[in-house]
Amino acid sequence: MDGNAAQGDTPPAVSVCLEVLKNRSDFLAAARARKQGTKAMMVQARKRREGENPAPEAIRVGFTCSKKVGNAVARNRAKRRLREVARLILPTHGKPGWDYVLIGRASETAARPFETLQGDLVYALRKLHADK
RNA sequence: GCAGAGGGCUGGAUGGCCGCGGGGGCCGCAAGGUUCGCGAGGAAAGUCCGGACUCCACAAGGCAACGGUGCCGGGUAACGCCCGGCCGGGGAAACCCGAGGGAAAGCGCCACAGAGAACAAACCGCCUCCGCUUGCGGGGGCAAGGGUGAAAAGGUGGGGUAAGAGCCCACCGCGCCGCUGGUAACAGGGGCGGCAUGGCAAGCCCCACCGGGAGCAAUGCCGAAUAGGGACCUCGCGCGGGAUUGAUCCUUCGGGAUAUCGCCGCAGGGACGCUUUGGCCCAGAGGUCCGGGUUGGCAGCUAGAGGGGGCGUGGUAACGCGCUCUCAAGAAGAAUGGUCAUCCAGAGGGGGCAACCCCUUGGACAGAAUCCGGCUUAUAGGCCCUCUGCGCGU
């Protein structure tokens, strides 16, 4: 038995409060707000205004992997890793009422060790929240 | 065993933990919870052909245009696909390659080189006659040899001749006629003809056959808020003017009516900080219903010419038929993942005589989007079968 799983430190189903961005306008709005790049990804973040449609406690997240990332397989792989990272990190490090967009980068997003990838997101979030 | 040819299969495995998509069951008024099983490929790709399906158009059919196909026979829902055969070319062979109809329907083109590239021609030549300064000039005959070219107007051999030539003969080739075999493409052999018909149809063209168009963002249904449109009802709708050189209505065609819409003047309200003047804007409100319609939702949407296995059967085969068992993604900013461990191939290094052991690294091309049948292209590695030649053994 491997030690990691035995400790059971993976987050439970906190991801209930995560929602997926689906409208193009939401993506564009996030792109106009603040952003922070890391080696493996670009993170865009936007605090929603008062009275905007989703409930204020919800954290929303979207993923973008353009053709620059590679062919369909490479894009899907990058998106999945970003999704997994978001699932693990955002419920604890993200702030309610914010929209986040994670953008994949060519080769790095797929190749970077997973723990480093998590660290990248945590770092980017800290910078974004501090940058007020 | 070595070298080669053809074909097929596979393309990481197992198990934890945490997730995702869409189903079924159970609990719950619901939100949701819980549980069970399912969830990428041989190419899912390119979107190049052929269909199913949907809508639009349309008597059938013919002709023309445009596009496609192009040896023959078979298979198929259909095909430009597949199978079998034929012909031509390559190879020692297994086998491979071929846009493989028509060039005596017509037009066009054939670079460079070369004398000449299509009703042949004569550069070097060969033969002969004449002249003379004995190797040159002129006349005539010839097309065998040389040279050029991708291709030079049948080929080889013999006869013949001044030299030559299908000029004559034999064989081959070509054309025509009929015979035999074959469903056919075609093959075989026979007779006749002295040879006429160079290549390119992937330049135009001719012939035969096939083809209506657009596509699941097809198409059908539902349809909120807001804005706008129409109909009806209720309340409200300042005063005056003028009229058809506006609408409308009536008409005995001369003209007339003025409720309504529009026009003009005055009054009313609104904003421009206020006042005056001037210009601008407003003149309806409420309710009910109807149709169109955007974001969106539902259907289409996965059970069909379906995939796989087995048995029988027809066929050389592609494939068909019968029975039987089994399998089953359906999303829509788009699920099929993340991570860890062990193992299996592979690569590198070290130790050991060797079997082997240890460490490190590490997994081809590639991701469903209405669904099928093909084609094409990409693909690390591994496995299997058949055949050919050579070598060795029995």
Q: How many Å from the CA of A78 to C1' of B209?
A: 54
With a 7 Å cutoff on the CB, does A63 touch strand B?
A: yes
Task: Provide the ipTM.
Answer: 0.77
| pTM exceeding the 0.90 threshold for the entire prediction | no
With a 7 Å cutoff on the CB, does A5 touch strand B?
A: yes
With a 7 Å cutoff on the CB, does A7 touch strand B?
A: no
Question: Count of domains in chain A?
Answer: 1
In a domain, A31, yes or no: yes
With a 7 Å cutoff on the CB, does A34 touch strand B?
A: no
Cα torsion through A52, A58, A61, A62, rounded to 10: -40
Q: What are the pLDDT tens digits along chain A (132 aa)? A: 222 222 222 333 333 456 777 777 777 778 778 888 888 788 888 887 765 555 566 778 888 887 777 788 888 888 888 888 888 888 788 888 788 888 888 777 777 778 888 888 888 888 888 865
In a domain, A116, yes or no: yes
Domain assignment of residue A64, given as a range: 17-130
Residue A50 CA to residue A53 CA, distance in Å, equals 9
In a domain, A10, yes or no: no
**CATH number of the domain that A25 lies in?**
3.30.230.10
In a domain, A80, yes or no: yes
